[in-house]
A = this chain, B = another copy of it.
Amino acid sequence: MAEYMTETEQRAPGVPPAGTPGVPRGRAGDGAAGPPDGQEAAALLEGTRALVDPALRAAVESLPGTMRRAALHHFGWQHADGTAAAGNAGKAIRPALVLAAAAALGGPAARVAAVRAAAAVELVHNFTLLHDDVMDRDTSRRHRPTVWTVFGVPDAILAGDALQALALGLLAGDAHPAAVPALARLTACVVELCEGQHTDTGLERRAPEEVTLDEVLVMAEAKTGALLGCACAIGALYAGAGEEEVSAMDGFGRQAGLAFQLIDDVIGIWGDSRQTGKPVGADLAARKKSLPVVAALTSGTPAAAELAELYGKPYAAEDAEAAGEIARTAQAVERAGGRDWAQAEAADRMARAVQELARAVPAPEAAGGLLALAEFVTRRSG
């Protein structure tokens, strides 16, 4: 594992070392101990919010009645009773990728031209969240009750449907020559997102021993990588990039998205609930077949057998020893190598992402923003 990591670090500047999510890191080779890109990413995300939020909010405000209220609640702009809220619309990673990709290949003018497209991508992301929460019966998102728990399942489905239409309508109303190819990519991406969610719900219904690691990786690429890739590709289109650059940008986003999902799954087991917004061990209690869990289950270790036994029984929330069981399950995943594997795989995916980025944007100084965002999403506190 250590040798593998050295290899990826050698070929990929910016790859996070395995085993240290949450530990501030410099780029490999520069010897810095601090997070030089954390501030750049934060500034990019803040700048994205400032540019994209008005378009996003105007689109949501154009919805009629209850769908508007459901969407405003989802984005954290309104409480369930209709009073104004401070807003907690997520980190805006996807629109930030659209704008950063446009800027990397087309400079500030392309970045401004891509604002509508960035809002469209964020609307698509949020439409899928609304529907996923219904399917998964998740009751909490971004520290707030999910839309279906407040407005009911029908209105959550309808609000999601309307957000998809709004997203694609934003692009249809954009006179930029990239709007139509962006639309074509975004609609294909929605189909892939749906397939990813389908695979995910199917995996959750199957016995733990029947699930392979490849299946979960394919699912994660469809469910998370596809939209991050699409965001980068759309940014490239708005910069007037050619097919090869657009495709490399898609690859960059996909691989960074997989790295992001791997780290997200690690955080879902060992993370701080104040930062994740989910109860400690919620993924394990739900017997979720996340990437580290499946890696552990398929490791052939004694800890894998122990984990399989724990996962074979439903979580006993009423049990006085429930917290102890979650801790034992997390330890079994770790002893079976699930945590180390996920971190090494995240590093490998980041290395591939960086390779794709170099193909899309040969000038390193132009690629800085995208790299900073990719490192930011794979370096969240664990």
Interface of A with B (CB < 8 Å)?
A: 63-67, 127-128, 131, 134-135, 153-155, 157-162, 164-166, 168-169, 172-173, 179-180, 183-184, 187-188, 190-192, 194-195, 197-198, 201-202
Contact = CB atoms under 8 A, between A and B. Distances in A.
Contacts of A65: 195, 198
5 contacts: A64-B195, A161-B190, A168-B168, A168-B187, A172-B187
A169 B183 contact: yes
Given A169-B188, A187-B166, A197-B158, A153 B131 contact: no
Q: What is the count of identical protomers in the complex?
A: 2
Contact of A169 (B66, B134, B159, B184): B184
A192 to B, nearest CB: 8
Contact of A184 (B66, B162, B173): B173
B165 A198 contact: no
Nearest to A168: B168
B64 A161 contact: no
Given A135-B154, A161-B164, A169-B187, A198 B66 contact: yes
B195 A166 contact: no
Contacts of A202: 66
Contacts of A180: 172, 179-180
Contacts of A63: 191
A147 to B, nearest CB: 13
